[in-house]
Structure 1
Amino acid sequence: MGFLQLLEVASAPIIQVLLISVVGAFLASSYCNNLLSEDFRRSLNKIVFLAFTPSLIFASFAKSVSLDDMILWWFMPINIGLTFLIGGILGWIIVKILKPNLKVEGLIIASCSSGNMGNLPVVIIPAICDQKGGPFGTRDECRNRALPYSFFSLGLGGFFIWTYTYQLILNRSMRYKAFEAAQAMKIPNTDLDADTETRLLQGNIVSENTVMGERDTENQILVDQDPSSESKIAEISSWQRMRETLSRVLAEIMSPPTIATCLGFTFGGVKSLRSLIIGQDAPLRVIQDSIQLLGDGTIPCITILLGGNLTQGMKSSCLQPRILISIIIARLFVLPAIGFFVVRAAANLGFLPEDPLFQYVLVIQYALPPAMNISTMAQLFDVGTEEFSVILLWTYGASAIALTLWSTFLIWALS
């Protein structure tokens, strides 16, 4: 397979993403009377989070992966976890060295750690099988193995993205908003036209703060007089922290994408449940078909939203060129190089099936551009939406060349 053929195969899904993004940018422009307005984008983003993404994850797991496959491919969850871990470390190093705005710190780490395990593997890997002269067997044999690998990668990637990356964006957004609130409180009121009511309200707030301070002082005196109360307060604080931690874990577990992942594992792994909805003779096949149809809308909607956010991001983004260059180098070149040695070491130790296509899929998981679902999270928490659209624009443009180079190298190395 020649370089130009690989370039065509690797760049096709990237070009699809960019073309659909252009449609979203056009719909959000004045030429369409701002049809894709900010409020509309927020509403559509919530629909993607609550309906489209869970449907795509469930359909991917339930349709293509069985319990035997999960046992045989046990290294793939570990491999994807390593992509998030190593990529997160690279993103953290970028943040520590370049010291960007607090608003985009979480987006930088997420861009380096969370790859697009969705539409890209599903398009690229089977397309590799269509080329003649590859090391992965005949076209039909290769595609029969490639599609389950791709869908298993999609489902596992969704699980990591909606647990690790979701929590990362949530925590960083809360830190940023707390910082913004603290900065706003430090700004004095210099409005000379402030009316009497405003001054009275400020006076009341000061009085209430004074009273609360006096009460806190009285309570502190009581605590000092009763030594046993200190241990009680410590116990109460520990219990409260435990409850808060448990509530956060439950909130993650109860998010729609995570629930869909668990259900997809269940229906894909249990044969009796799988036979109910999967297959030509399944009595409830219409349920799987409906879920699949709903899930098919995930990628187009996310990509259109990306284009709509990009119009604003090109005007208001605070990202410096050196940050974009660092993300591209870390995500598309350094991380895949590390991943190649990880996969080869696992193969030499006998941890992987004797299938070069499986090794190809594992390395490609390190070389994918950032996940578009990060855009959904950024808009859910209202932090860095425009900045991340710019990150996606440049990383996806660079990934057309990077994926081609890595595919060429891997086909040569695995032949």
Structure 2
Amino acid sequence: MGFWTLFEASSVPVLQVLIVSGLGAFLATPYCNVLKDDATKHLNKIVFVVFTPCLVFASLVQSVTLEDIISWWFMPVNILLIYIIGGFLGWVAVKLLKPEPFLKGVVIACCSAGNLGNLMIIIIPAICDEKGTPFGNSGACTKIGLAYSSFSMALGAFYIWTHTYHMMRSAGEVYHAEIGSQKPSIKVANADLEAGAETHLLKAVDGSSSAHVPSSESYAAALSLPLSKSAEAAADQAQRPEPDLNGKPNSNKKGKTWENIKGLLHRILEELFAPPTIAAIVGLVFGAIPGLKSLIIGSAAPLRVIEQSVSLLGNATIPCITLILGGNLTKGLRLGKLKISMMISIICVRYVILPASGILVVRLANSLGLLPPDPLYRYVLMVQFTLPPAMAIGTMAELFNVGKQESSIIFLFTYLVAAVALTFWSTVYMWMLS
């Protein structure tokens, strides 16, 4: 397989993402003004609740069987290693470069969560259609490649909508907590400033003192003042436990501990049973049980219209996510609060360290006899280490209103670099497998 043939097969899917993103950016510009902020938020919710679950379910139920799930047991381990290695490298980058607190979760998420679904479903069949690959017949390669890609999408959805979803949600809480903590200081500072100005004015009217109007410098300094002592004392008093009848503090530690445990369990269940994760679980169940699968798959299936409707909805996932990604770019091509060094570190993690780690992991697992003999399976495992950040991160950034501009800029540059990086590493992987 020639270099330019491989370059075309690897770069076309990435170029498609860039072209559709450009259309989304145009739709969000003042010239078109279609993708407004409200429209983007509502579209994100539809993608999260409807389109993504439909895509995951349809892809799994069509191509995955119980035998496949058993024989591909190493793939979830492989993705777990990607998250561990990428997350650790992202954590190291955050500690060294010290970005804004709310960007820490965004950076680690971009380093650990790859596009395990959308690009895999496009790239793997495109590779199989090319001549000279070490993967055998094109038709058989495409069929099994789609099964690998669908299983990868399901596993990726599980990891993304649990681990990454929790990380982005925490980043959103940090961001909004920072904003909320600044509002009381500004209100108190404004109140103190107005009271001071009123006092000076009254003194001037009484003739007891010359009028003194606060300058712009003093106004700016007043806005940065912390809470006054009275406000601090009131907040401290509100946090103190109320005394009981004997005058002793009533801590209710056991009640608070139980409430914290219940809150933690509720949050874990909420994140674990996000709509895309539920769809992945249901899709695996239907795909693994022949009786259930025959109900909705096949020309004679009694409920085939359900599967057809779900597939129709799922087809809208990738275009909508990509349009939203491009629409966020119209907020400016500036890095926002993201440092250039942070961007470079993300690119190095995703396209240098992770692919090299993938080669070591897959070769070690193969030498230990943990992998089936199919070279396409090993190729898919290594490609999983080489993908750009998952576009679902952009959906989560929009959902939680955190790092939208920064994540869009990360996607822009990482997907541009992916056109070259995927080509290079695909060439290396095929050379190793041939």
Shared fold (TM-score, shorter chain, > 0.5): yes
TM-score of the aligned structures, taking structure 2 as reference length: 0.87
Letter in 2 for 1:386: Q
Choose from 373, 378, 390 the match for 2:397.
Answer: 378
Partner of 2:59: 60
For residues 208-219 of structure 1, the aligned pairs below 5 Å read: 209=234, 212=237, 216=241, 218-219=243-244
Cα pair 2:171 2:402 within 8 Å, conserved: no
Q: CA RMSD in A?
A: 2.4
Structure 1 residues 218, 2: closer, same or farther in 2, change over 3 A?
same
Q: Distance in 1 between matches of 2:83 and 2:240?
A: 48
Task: Give the match for residue 3 of structure 2.
Answer: 3
Structure 1's 211 and 389: CA in aligned 2 closer, same or farther, altered over 3 A? closer
Pair 1:345 & 2:364 matched: yes
Q: Match for 1:271: what amino acid?
A: P
Matched to 1:234, the amino acid is K
Return 331-340 or 178-187, whichever deviates more: 178-187
Residue 72 of structure 2 corresponds to which residue in structure 1? 73
Structure 1 or 2: more helix by fraction: 1
SS of equivalent residue, structure 2 residue 385: helix
1:277-336 residue CA offsets vs partner (Å, 9 max, x unmatched): 012221111100110110010000000000100110415722222111110010111111
Tell which structure's C-alpha radius of gyration is larger.
2
**Partner AA of 1:104 in structure 2:** L
What SS does structure 1 have at the residue aligned with 2:136? coil
Match of 2:217 in 1: none
Counting matched residue pairs gives 402
Instruction: Give 1:101's aligned residue.
Output: 100
Q: Quick one: structure 1 residues 244 and 412, their matched pair in 2 at CA, closer, same or farther if it must change by over 3 Å?
A: same
Report the secondary structure of 1:152's partner residue: helix
Q: 2: distance between equivalents of 1:220 and 1:370?
A: 58
Provide Cα deviations, 1:121-163, integer angstroms capped at 9, x if missing partner: 1111111111211111121221122111111111111111111
Q: For the Cα contact (< 8 Å) 2:335–2:409, is it kept in 1?
A: no
Report the equivalent of 1:84.
83
2:292 paired residue number: 273
**Contact 1:277–1:287 (CA<8 Å) still a contact in 2?**
yes
Aligned equivalents of 1:14, 1:372: Cα separation in 2: 12
Matched ranges for 1:230-379 at <5 A: 233-315=252-334, 317-379=336-398
Partner of 1:199: none
Q: Is the 8 A contact 2:28 2:36 kept in 1?
A: yes
Tell whether the 8 Å contact from 1:313 to 1:385 is kept in structure 2 after alignment. Answer: no
Amino acid at match of 2:170: N
The answer for the alignment partner of 2:221 in structure 1 is none
Match of residue 128 from structure 1: 127
Mapped contact 2:63–2:146 kept (Cα < 8 A): yes
Q: Which moved more, 1:102-111 or 1:315-324?
A: 315-324
Q: Structure 1, residues 385-410: CA drift from partner, whole Å, max 9, x if none?
A: 11100000000000111000110000
* Structure-1 residue corresponding to 2:39: 40
Structure 1 residues 267 and 386 mapped into 2: Cα distance closer, same or farther (>3 Å)?
same
Deviation at 1:183, TM superposition (A): 3.4
1:30-85, Cα deviation, whole Å (9 max, x unpaired): 111x1111111011111101100110111111111111100010101111111111
Structure 1 CA distance for aligned equivalents of residues 76 and 164 of structure 2: 16
Q: Given residue 237 of structure 1, which amino acid in structure 2 is its aligned partner?
A: K
Deviation at 1:219, TM superposition (A): 4.9
Q: Shift of the alpha carbon at 1:171?
A: 1.2
Q: Are residue 139 (structure 1) and residue 138 (structure 2) matched?
A: yes
Q: Could you tell me how far apart the structure 1 residues matched to 2:239 and 2:62 are?
A: 64
Instruction: Report the CA distance between 1:215 and its aligned residue.
Output: 7.2
Contact 2:148 2:377 in 1 (8 A): yes
Change (3 A) 1:308 1:239: same
Shift in alpha-carbon separation, 1:408–1:246, aligned structure 2, 3 A = same
How far apart are the structure 2 equivalents of 1:213 and 1:393? Answer: 47
Return the alpha-carbon distance in structure 1 between the equivalents of residues 273 and 118 of structure 2.
25
Aligned to 1:100, what secondary structure does the other structure show? coil
8 Å contact kept, 1:313–1:387: no
Question: Within 2, Cα distance between the matches of 1:100 and 1:318?
Answer: 8
Q: 1:264 to 1:215 in 2, by over 3 A?
A: closer
Contact 1:76 1:362 in 2 (8 A): yes
SS at match of 1:294: helix
For structure 2, the residue ranges without an aligned partner over 5 or more in a row are 199-226
Aligned counterparts of 2:346 and 2:63: Cα–Cα separation in 1: 33
Post-superposition shift, 1:217? 6.4
How far apart, in 2, do the equivalents of 1:158 and 1:3 lie? 32
Superposed CA offset, 1:180-232 (max 9, x none) = 32233344523645799xxxxx99x95993895597463597446xxxx77xx
Q: For 1:213 and 1:353, locate their aligned partners in 2 and report how far apart those are by CA, in whole Å.
A: 63
1:23 aligned residue: 23
CA distance in 2, matches of 1:211, 1:138: 72
**1-side partners of 2:20 and 2:260: how far apart?**
45
What percentage of residue pairs aligned between the two structures are identical? Answer: 49
Letter in 1 for 2:341: R
Distance in 1 (alpha carbons) for counterparts of 2:292 and 2:176: 45
